[in-house]
């Protein structure tokens, strides 16, 4: 009798210990992991890299847009491939919202996806493809390599009005910090990831207010006083008022090379966006900009990989949540 009671108590204890070892979230929640596809699609990462390399060889200017796609995916509904979905009857998707009209590279993602579907159908998510391609284009632009945790699943929803969650180029430092914090990202992530502007281009329309109409008066002197005046004069020769077509290299002369050029520019008040200049308005971000303007690349490279991993974790769907799309632009 006593031994029966003891064994009942023991099994209750063991059961409660087992319960306390379960993760506190839903039973389906899982972390992303390295080598997630090692059994289900062992060549997934090699296939992604090979396709990315082919594209960048013929169209190096796509590196910037492909890095930016992952950022715009993660900041709206998490890194769930929602940025890739097409609008449907009755729903305007993220990609057709104003902040995303300058995104490019969707065709590259479709191409990589098609290759993967041939080798391992229905296995590799579009959200993971975005994360892997972002890493690979940085590597192909002579930037750092970082291991990309995978296992993201694709979402079902994409809504234009949710792109309000993206930081605007007019943002001041307070807004930037709070937008990043709302995604679980730190002030350091903000200044490090802004370094992504070392590659790529910007349309004049993304900073023309600083050149011609900073306070809404639109007088010849209505300029952003924080922008270096020589640089402002140069930008004015390229960008005319209301110019929506012309674009400039964000890191002139080295806009295809991933390096610390961005910090050198921002340190001289030559970042093109108000949000770049804003990094000089907070002690932490300012210190990072100034110390990396002259420093070797190694610390920035390490930081960039770490912060990309942080960004790649934002709001991910894992386990049985979401799906693995067959085509990235439409839900299955």
Site residues for ligand HEM, window 79-108 (CB under 6 A)? Answer: 102, 104
Contact in structure between 40 and 80 (CB atoms under 8 Å): no
Q: Is 163 among the residues that bind ligand HEM (CB under 6 A)?
A: no
Catalytic residue among 72, 274, 282, 292: 72
Considering only residues 82, 141, 163, 194, which one is a binding residue for ligand HEM as defined by CB under 6 A?
Answer: 194
197 is in an annotated binding site: yes
Dist CA 168 CA 280 (whole Å)? 17
**Smaller CB distance to ligand HEM: residue 116 or 202?**
202
Only one of the segments 12-20, 36-44, 191-199, 219-227 lies at the binding site for ligand HEM (rule: CB under 6 A); that segment is 191-199
Which long-range contacts does 212-217 make (Cβ < 8 Å, 24+ apart)?
212/236, 212/241, 213/241
Q: Which is nearer to ligand HEM, 9 or 145 (CB)?
A: 145
CB of 61 to ligand HEM, least distance (A): 7
Within a 13 Å sphere around the CA of 160, how many CA atoms are in the beta-carbon half?
12
Number of residues that bind ligand HEM (CB under 6 A): 23
* The only residue of 176, 265, 267, 317 in contact with ligand HEM, by rule CB under 6 A: 176
Fill in the per-residue mask, 108 to 147: x = in contact with ligand HEM (CB under 6 A), - = not in contact: ----------------------------------------
Q: Which residues contact 124 (CB under 8 A, 6 or more apart)?
A: 37, 41, 44, 113, 116, 324
* Selected binder of ligand HEM within 111, 115, 188, 203 (CB under 6 A): 203
Q: Which is nearer to ligand HEM, 47 or 235 (CB)?
A: 235
Q: How far apart (Å, rounded) are the C-alpha atoms in residues 179 and 224?
A: 23
- Say if residue 202 carries a ligand binding annotation: no
Distance CA 233, CA 73 (A): 35
* H/E segment holding residue 203: strand 201-203
Helix axis angle for 126-140 and 44-58, nearest 10°, is 50
Residue nearest to ligand HEM (CB): 200
CA–CA separation, 199 and 182 (whole Å): 26
Point out which span in 33-41, 115-123, 149-157, 165-173 binds ligand HEM (CB under 6 A): 165-173
Q: Does residue 209 have a known ligand-binding role?
A: no
Instruction: Reply yes or no on whether 72 is catalytic.
Output: yes
Helix crossing, 126-140 with 63-74: angle to 10°? 140
Catalytic positions: 72
Give the residue ranges of the annotated binding site for substrate. 167
Give the residue ranges of the annotated binding site. 73, 76, 78, 80, 82, 94, 167, 197-198, 251, 259
Interaction site with ligand HEM (CB under 6 A): 64-65, 67-68, 71, 102, 104, 167, 169, 171, 176, 193-194, 196-197, 199-203, 206, 273, 275
């Amino acid at each position: 009798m006593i031994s029966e009671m003891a064994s009942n108590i023991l099994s209750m204890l063991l059961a409660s210990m087992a319960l306390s070892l379960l993760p506190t979230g839903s039973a389906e929640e899982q972390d992303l992991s390295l080598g997630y596809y090692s059994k289900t699609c062992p060549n997934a990462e090699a296939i992604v890299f090979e396709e990315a390399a082919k594209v960048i060889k013929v169209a190096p200017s796509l590196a910037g847009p492909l890095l930016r796609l992952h950022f715009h995916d993660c900041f709206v509904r998490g890194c769930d491939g929602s940025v890739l979905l097409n609008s449907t009857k009755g729903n305007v998707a993220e990609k057709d919202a104003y902040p995303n009209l300058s995104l490019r590279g969707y065709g590259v993602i479709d191409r990589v996806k098609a290759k993967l579907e041939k080798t391992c159908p229905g296995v590799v998510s579009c959200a993971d493809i975005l994360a892997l391609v972002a890493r690979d284009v940085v590597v192909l632009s002579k930037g750092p390599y970082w291991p990309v945790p995978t296992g993201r699943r694709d979402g079902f929803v994409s809504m234009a009005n949710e792109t309000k969650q993206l930081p605007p180029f007019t943002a001041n430092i307070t807004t930037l910090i709070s937008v990043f914090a709302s995604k679980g990202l730190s002030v350091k992530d903000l200044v490090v990831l802004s370094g992504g502007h070392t590659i790529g281009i910007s349309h004049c329309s993304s900073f023309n207010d600083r050149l011609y109409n900073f306070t809404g008066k639109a007088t010849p002197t209505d300029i952003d006083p924080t922008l270096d005046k020589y640089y402002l004069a140069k930008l004015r020769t390229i960008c005319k008022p209301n110019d929506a077509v012309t674009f400039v290299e964000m890191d002139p002369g080295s806009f295809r090379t991933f390096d610390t050029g961005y910090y050198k520019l921002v340190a001289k008040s030559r970042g093109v966006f108000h949000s770049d200049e804003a990094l000089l308005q907070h002690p932490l971000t300012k210190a990072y900009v100034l110390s990396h303007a002259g420093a070797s690349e190694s610390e920035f490279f390490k930081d960039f990989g770490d912060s990309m991993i942080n960004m790649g974790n934002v709001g991910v769907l894992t386990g049985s949540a979401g799906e693995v799309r067959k085509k990235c632009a439409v839900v299955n």
